[in-house]
Amino acid sequence: MANVLDYKGYFATLEYSSEDKVFYGKLEMIEDLVTFEADSASDLEVNFHNAVDEYLETCKALGREPQKTYKGIFNVRIDPKLHKKAYQKSIKNGISLNAFVKKAIEKEVALG
């Protein structure tokens, strides 16, 4: 399992530096650079929450929208033969390729 925390829709990856004896992390899936660190694992989660809250407050103070982690749009590169088979199956099911892929992802992550 990956070392990931989530809070208010923001995700952070976590690392440990044995050289510096510090835990650290950064927000993922946004272009703004937001980092945090702590001397203990328990403080790391608190500092992560503080980093997200400070990011949101800073954006508000600057009058700009905070970046969102997902837009609902992404490109997927797959083998052309798989692309063709997926498109054919979507046609047989009477749905668009986007709807077909959405259903497949929902089934895989058990959202549907």
Three-state secondary structure of the chain: CCCEEEECCEEEEEEEECCCCEEEEEEECCCCCCEEEECCHHHHHHHHHHHHHHHHHHHHHHCCCCCCCCCCCCCCCCCHHHHHHHHHHHHHCCCCHHHHHHHHHHHHHCCC
**Residue 34 confidence (pLDDT):** 96
* pLDDT at residue 91 greater than cutoff 80: yes
**pTM reported for the whole predicted model:** 0.66
Could you give the CA distance from residue 22 to residue 38 in angstroms, rounded to a whole number?
6
Cα→Cα distances 42→16, 46, 68, 77, Å: 13, 7, 26, 39
Which has the higher per-residue pLDDT, 96 or 54?
54
* pLDDT at residue 110 greater than cutoff 60: yes
* pLDDT at residue 54 greater than cutoff 90: yes
Could you give the CA distance from residue 65 to residue 77 in angstroms, rounded to a whole number?
30
Average pLDDT over residues 3-8: 91
Q: Per the structure block, which two tokens stand in for 110? A: 């058990």
Average pLDDT over residues 74-99: 92
**Residue 111 confidence (pLDDT):** 65
